Amino acid sequence: MMQVLRNLKRAARWRSLLLAALPALALGLLLLAPLARLALEGLSGQLSPTETVEWFKPWQDSYLRWRVLWSLAQAAITCGLALLLGLPLAWVLARFEFAGRTLVLRLLMLPFVVPTLAAALGVLALWGPHGLISGWLGINLQGTPWLLLYGNLFFNLCLVVRAGVDALGQVNARQLAAARSLGATPWRAFCRVEWPAIAPWLVASLCLVFLYCFAGFGLALVLGGQRYATVEVEIYTLVAHELQLAHASVLALWMLLLTGVVAVAYAALEKRLAAPVRTAPVARKRPQGGAQWLALGAALSVLFVVCALPIVAIFIKAISALWTGATGIFDAEAWAALQNTLQFSVMALGLATLLGVLHAMAAQASVAWRAAAFLPFVVSPVTVAFGLLLLYPSLTASLPLLLAAYALLAYPFVAKSLSAGLDALPAHLGHAARTLGASPWRCFWRVSLPLLLPALRRGMAFAMATALGEFAVTLFLSRPEWATLTTLIYQRLGRPGQANLDAAMVLACVLMVLALMAFLLIEWPVHERHAQRRRPASGPIANNPTLQHA
């Protein structure tokens, strides 16, 4: 009997190795090897036969030092603003019951499937030259840091709110009631009971906010301008316009080091919060009195202004451009970009799904391999694209490399979603199928896969949204004839004239509609029987829509 068990374990280990072969090859060739080449370029690159690249140049050069410090500052300021706004909003949504609450929580995922360029155009439609709000108020925020900070909040406020809502659901109602019965005011009860319970969750979400803002590219490129561009934009400028690859490598390595420190802190917090906790949650109640209804209205208004108004502004600007008879928008160039976007996204989705399924199945036998799915999230797309450009110069303008880079950035969504679905599967179903003579593969196809379809669908939808909105990789690795909607929007923004701005708004609207279709696949209510099969993942990852488990 013991020999049989050992044989089964040995067979399971070999199956895991075989399943992990293709994802490991992809991570090695498309992520780890390019990073090693990037390090080699940065540490030993030559500008000329007599001039070497200095490792500490980003801190010694005043211009580069400003770029690095501003990148850190805008990420830190966004974290502060997200916490300042997100904590009260989370408390209102967690403690009050009202009509439409479930819909509001679902819509909190909306910013995460909106492409970065579409979001940047939405911010410009509100606060840029001739914006809906700036034109009405007679102000223009272009050339100021507020545009970039507002764009950062658009993406990240919802992340903090979702983390806060789920964290407040972990607060023990008995402890809170005991504090109130002993005479504690609501504010003192929050500080002494609720805040210690939710603080680790919020800190974990703020680590993610910092990573997204610090390594962001599309928003900073469009909204930062010359003065407030971040390090990622500087890396792109050094590579694409100045051909200073060695200096760009040094900057990219410093970015990787700084983001790695924050990622390690986040991983430590996630491990601490991963253990399930049994609590008696605080029951939600309907708002009582004018003050509570006013707080609810204010919370929903803030969410609308920060997280929904840029999307509405794009639709308004696009409809206005079409209504006034804007011409030349849907020309041959636009149709070709639309076709490229759909084709590249669908092909990348197929490859990402294959990699994600194999990675998720192999991860069931290895905690380290499960953590490896986060590697593409830690490295910014600009760094990935730059590393591929250095390592495979002969393949830079090849379609296989472009699609492989798309799939690398998208497949972790499938892997993490499917891993959580596999964790939630009842073990006795697989055991029953195996005792009836089913092979492991037949057990997966006939028993596990039908139960995992909701999780797989969600992961594929996030992967599709990622591929649709990918911008940095396309700028580095594609040919002019392979322009997608994101690159075409950026080209139109760089051309003078109101007609080009109108065309960019309409194209951004088209891109956003495609992304919203993916959003409907992600968050559209599923059948009740599927909901009963799924268990929510614990820990801050469950609150991160961009890394959302099933």
> Could you state, in order of their start, the residue ranges of all structural domains in the chain?
74-301, 336-550
The radius of gyration of the chain's CA atoms, rounded to the nearest angstrom, is 24
| Exposure b/e, 448-482, CB count within 10 A at least 16 = b | beebbebbbbbbbbbbbbbbbbbbbbbbbbbeeeb
| Exposure b/e, 234-267, CB count within 10 A at least 16 = b | bbbebbeeeebbbbbbbbbbbbbebbeebbeebe
Read off the tokens for 513.
């509609």
Look up tokens 């030349």; give the residue.
328
Q: Are 149 and 81 contacting, i.e. CB atoms less than 8 angstroms apart?
A: yes
The amino acid at residue 406 is Y
Classify domain 336-550 by CATH number.
1.10.3720.10
The residues facing 48 across adjacent strands are: 51
Match domain 74-301 to its CATH number in 3.40.50.2300, 3.40.50.460, 3.40.50.1370, 1.10.3720.10.
1.10.3720.10
First-last CA distance in the chain: 37
Look up tokens 């609810």; give the residue.
296
DSSP calls for 97-112:
--TTHHHHHHHTTGGG
Look up tokens 């911008």; give the residue.
471
DSSP calls for 425-486:
S-HHHHHHHHHTT--HHHHIIIIIHHHHHHHHHHHHHHHHHHHHH--HHHHHH--GGG--HH
| Exposure b/e, 74-112, CB count within 10 A at least 16 = b | bbebbbebbbebbbbbbbbbbbbeeeeeeebbebbbbbb
**What pLDDT, on the 0 to 100 scale, is given for residue 42?**
67
**What pLDDT, on the 0 to 100 scale, is given for residue 53?**
55
User: Can you say whether residue 527 is alpha, beta or left, with left for phi > 0 and alpha for psi between -120 and 50 degrees?
Assistant: beta
Q: Are 83 and 202 contacting, i.e. CB atoms less than 8 angstroms apart?
A: yes
**What pLDDT, on the 0 to 100 scale, is given for residue 196?**
83
Domains 74-301 and 336-550 share a fold: yes
The SS3 of residue 46 is strand
**What pLDDT, on the 0 to 100 scale, is given for residue 17?**
60
Kindly report the length of the chain.
550
pTM: 0.80
* Alpha-carbon span 278 to 170, nearest angstrom: 8
* Alpha-carbon span 97 to 296, nearest angstrom: 10
- Which positions ≥6 away from 87 have C-beta within 8 Å? 160, 164, 202
**What pLDDT, on the 0 to 100 scale, is given for residue 419?**
80
Output phi, psi for 75, to 5 deg.
-70, -40
- Which positions ≥6 away from 197 have C-beta within 8 Å? 167, 170, 171, 172
To which H or E segment does residue 48 belong?
strand 46-48
* Alpha-carbon span 419 to 9, nearest angstrom: 20
- In the Cβ-directed half-sphere of 57, how many Cα atoms lie within 13 Å? 15
* Max Cα–Cα distance, the chain, nearest Å: 81
The SS3 of residue 52 is strand
**62-95 vs 289-303: helix axis angle to the nearest 10?**
140
* Alpha-carbon span 518 to 539, nearest angstrom: 25
If the chain, 550 residues long, is cut into consecutive pieces of 10 residues, what is the mean pLDDT of each piece? 48 58 85 82 54 66 85 92 92 88 83 85 85 80 86 90 86 80 82 82 85 85 85 83 75 80 70 58 82 90 90 88 73 86 91 88 74 79 85 82 90 84 67 61 67 81 86 83 87 81 86 82 52 40 39
The torsion angle over the Cα atoms of residues 414, 417, 419 and 423, rounded to 10 degrees, is -160
Look up tokens 């410009």; give the residue.
124
* Alpha-carbon span 377 to 24, nearest angstrom: 16
Nearest to 84 by CA among 186, 179, 209: 209
**What pLDDT, on the 0 to 100 scale, is given for residue 377?**
79
**What pLDDT, on the 0 to 100 scale, is given for residue 547?**
41
